[in-house]
Chain A
Amino acid sequence: MWRRYGDAAYTLMTLAIFGFETIALGALSLSFLLGSATGIASTPVEGILLGIVISTASALGLLGLYLLSYHFISAMRDRHHADQIDSWTEWWVGLALTSTDAPLEDVPERHRLPRVAVDSVLSLLEAVKGEEGDRLKEALAQHGVDTRFLRKARAGHLTSRLDAIEGLGKARLPQALDPLLGLFHHPRAVVRRMAARAAAGTLAIMPPEPGPDGPHARFVDALRHADLQPGVVQEALLLLETRAGPILRELLADPELSDSLRWVVLETSGRLGLADMADQVAASASHPDPELRAATFRALRRLGTVPEGAAAALLDAVDDEVDFVRVQAAHAAAFLDPDAALPALEPRLEDQSWWVRRAAAGSLARLGEAGVAAVKRAAESHPDQAAREMAVQILLEADELTPAAARLASGVA
């Protein structure tokens, strides 16, 4: 914390002290070189030594005083800042919780709110929404904070621009949505990223407005045509929270959606646990791109369901030529009918990939009695050693070890 203010002064002082000491020590060295051995004890050398000791002590004293003052002043400033934040927070909370019938006349008559007041209300807007949040936004607009943020977000130094975009993201002002969408095409990747986050957060609290000109449609359109990294798109889609479903559905329904965006949408659908999207997710189960097939099965596994229409594709994928597809398919097969899944998973116990063997054994153990029995059989008598070991491992983890498998397990250990 003590490096927060006064860095330049600290550097200059350090430089001056070290410079002074270097010159003094240089003079001392020169006198040693020019003088004889007995000269060390001569009066001029003693004078130099005395001068150096005094100056070093003074410099160190000064430095110590500076550091102490610095800590003290920083602590005072921090406390003052915290007090100001507390004071403004109380004021904003009071305003937010005022009866909705009351006018906003209590807003201080200041043309420009201090930074601490804006920071305080932005933090508050991250915690509250609804009528209370709307009142705070109204107060922000009365002071022109929204227009100031929007102006800074479009032009100016990168730092202040990013600050403004972050502020808009926290404030979640509906009027900022379109300007933020416009920044999706900014040449700087960091601006595009911040804008995507802020726009998604804003959209998350806006009421749904269906139609080709609604905010959701505009967001989807901007997302489709923006040059955003997959991770950024995924973060933005996650930030949509409860509003994500319709947008993800619209994106998945687009046959011309790019593969990278489709991959992101599949991942996000799974992460958000949108089980009602299982049919749409499963539509990519036979996609030619193995990354997309794997993402589909990973999403279905997270959703905890496999639609009937996707069962055949999933069973095929358990035997896919690409190992990471087989892994995800084997995981998702735990949600199939046991009669269909068992014959597909059992052969995978001897797959060349450790990950596939593990996924297959794990899914078998989740298929109920028949699946657990298959794993036990494998643990005790499977001809392939790797299959036996994996089955034993899964039984150990599931606390289902049979005596015969336990003997094997002790051998494995």
Chain B
Amino acid sequence: MLATPRLTDARILVVDDERVNVVLLERILEQDGYRNVKSVTDPSVAVTLYDEFEPDLVLLDLHMPKLDGFGVMKLLEDRISGDTFLPILILTADIRPEIKRRALSAGAKDFVTKPFDRTEVLLRIQNLLETRFLHLRMRHEAVPEGQAT
């Protein structure tokens, strides 16, 4: 039986070109007990960090120079197997429905609009992580004993 990990043990990757936003999210998560948070302000290194860190959740800004959030999701798509549930929470100031639709079809699982409310962002993170861990647990239970890696 796989022990359900505590949410605060989850690995969270923050990708936002604005240093201010990164610091804010890091402190919010830290204050709420999350201990494994890594962040990048250069989206081009997000994929490398993803490979090293293997996050349970990605907090992603959409509008970034050089490589935007859609580009990051495209690169991540190649690394995420079909049966893996990797939640991507989009943080954006853009509320246009077409942008949301495009992001959802690119792999995003939820949205938080900037400026965001601390409680709201923490609740969304919690919900996505709970889903992630349930998914991992189901996968583990589906694999015959002794074959689980």
By a beta-carbon cutoff of 8 Å, the part of chain A in contact with chain B is: 82, 85-86, 89-90, 93-94, 96-97, 120, 123-133, 172, 205, 238, 241-242, 271-273, 302
Contact = CB atoms under 8 A, between A and B. Distances in A.
A120 B20 contact: yes
A302 B93 CA distance: 20
Given A123-B20, A125-B115, 4 more contacts: A85-B19, A97-B27, A124-B20, A132-B118
Contacts of B75: none
Contact of B117 (A86, A90, A97, A129): A129
Contacts of A129: 115-117
B97 interface: yes
B27 A93 contact: yes
B97 A89 contact: no
A411 to B, nearest CB: 35
A8 B19 CA distance: 32
B96 A130 contact: no
B27 A127 contact: no
A205 B117 CA distance: 11
From A86, A120, A127, residue with most partner B Cβ within 10 Å: A127
Nearest to B95: A241
Interface string B1-40: 0000000000000000011110110011001000000000
A94 B114 contact: no
Given A85-B19, A127-B20, A272-B97, A97 B31 contact: yes
Contact of A130 (B19, B97, B113, B117): B117
Contacts of B120: 130
B81 interface: no
B15 to A, nearest CB: 14
B84 interface: no
Contacts of A123: 18, 20
B119 interface: yes
B118 A127 contact: no
A123 B19 CA distance: 10
Interface in B106-142: 113-120
11 contacts: A93-B23, A97-B27, A97-B31, A129-B115, A133-B115, A238-B96, A241-B95, A271-B96, A271-B97, A273-B96, A273-B97
A287 B97 CA distance: 27
Nearest to A121: B20
Contact of A97 (B18, B28, B95): B28
B24 A205 contact: no
B116 A128 contact: yes
Given A124-B24, A126-B93, A131-B118, A241 B113 contact: yes
A222 B21 CA distance: 33
Contacts of A82: 19
Nearest to B21: A127
Contacts of A90: 23
Contacts of A126: 93, 114-115
Nearest to A94: B27
Contacts of B118: 97, 128, 130-132
